[in-house]
Amino acid sequence: MKRLFFSAACIGLLGLGACGSTTTDTATTTTDGATADGAATDSAGAMAAMPAGDSAMSDANGPTAPHSTDPEFMQSAAHSDQNEIQLSKLALEKGVTGMAKTHANQMITDHTKSTAELKPIAQKKGVTLPTDMDAEHKAIAEQMRGLSGQDLEKKYLEQMTLDHQKTANTMMAHQKMTQDAELLGFISKTLPVVQSHLTMFKQHSTM
């Protein structure tokens, strides 16, 4: 009888242990499942909150500057730099403030750097880069000289948006057609900067 009682007790304890183990495993599975679901939810939320890539703002089929050949592309890129640099200097001279002033200073720095990086590539290929604005932007500069205050800032931000869209389009389009490794490297490095400028100006020109 004692042996039978002892055996029954052992079986009972083993049963409880197995149940306890199953419960723990189930709880662990449930917790892990909840964690996985939570992670999935967080990830989905983060993805939904992320803005579309800047590359989506460039359109190789949209309006572009002339770029049918590599020399023409380099000259257009240099003109673009001069347009942004000189219009930004004009905006600063006329006293823009706040975000417009910050952006103008950044344009001068970034586009001066862009020209400095393009210049040795052009020199190797015997291409002379322009050192002034194109005719269109000289006319725009004259318009800006007649403006002041918020009207000037609005015109400056809107023009920067248009210019950077066209430059981004041109770079993306030429990236698809050029076979020149140095130019491809220049575009790969410069296009993200132009796209970041475009994003910035699009946000602020509508404020």
**57: in domain:** no
184 in the same domain as 86: yes
Can you give the length of the chain in residues?
207
Q: Which residue has the tokens 């001068």?
A: 108
Determine which of 18-22, 135-139, 175-179 has the lowest per-residue pLDDT on average.
Answer: 18-22
The two three-digit tokens of residue 158, written as one number: 């809107």
Q: Report residue 206's pLDDT band, with 50, 70 and 90 as the boundaries.
A: low
Mean predicted confidence (pLDDT) in 191-204: 94
Question: Domain for residue 58, yes or no?
Answer: no
Q: Could you count the other beta carbons within 10 Å of the beta carbon of residue 152?
A: 20
Q: How far, in Å, CA of 25 to CA of 128, rounded?
A: 74
| pLDDT at position 42 | 38
Asked if residue 157 has pLDDT above 70, the reply is: yes
- From residue 149, alpha-carbon distances to 91, 95, 154, 155 in Å are 10, 8, 9, 10
Average pLDDT, the chain: 80
- Tokens representing residue 60 in the block: 């190789």
User: What is the extent of the structural domain holding 158?
Assistant: 64-205
Residue 92 within any structural domain of the chain: yes
Residue 109 has pLDDT above 60, yes or no: yes
Shared domain check, 138 and 118: yes
Neighbours of 125 (CB within 10 A): 13
The mean pLDDT value for 26-50 works out to 36
What's the pLDDT at 57?
66
Per-residue pLDDT of 52-89, as tens digits, reads 344 546 676 788 999 999 999 999 999 999 999 999 99
End-to-end CA distance of the chain: 90
Kindly report which listed range (16-25, 30-39, 40-49, 127-136) carries the lowest average pLDDT score.
40-49
Confidence tier at 207 by pLDDT (50, 70, 90): low
| CATH number of the domain to which 111 belongs | 1.20.1260.10
Q: Give a yes or no: residue 106 inside a domain.
A: yes
Q: Tell me: the pLDDT tens digits for 119-147?
A: 999 999 999 999 999 999 999 999 999 99
The pLDDT of 177-198, averaged and rounded, is: 97
- Whether 12 is in a domain gets the answer yes
Percent of the chain with pLDDT over 70: 70
* Overall domain count for the chain: 2
- Has residue 188 been placed in a domain? yes
Instruction: Say yes or no: 17 and 115 in one domain.
Output: no
Q: Do 48 and 69 fall within a single domain?
A: no
Question: Looking at residues 34-40, what average pLDDT do you find?
Answer: 38
Examine the domain organization and report whether 24 and 70 are in the same domain.
Answer: no
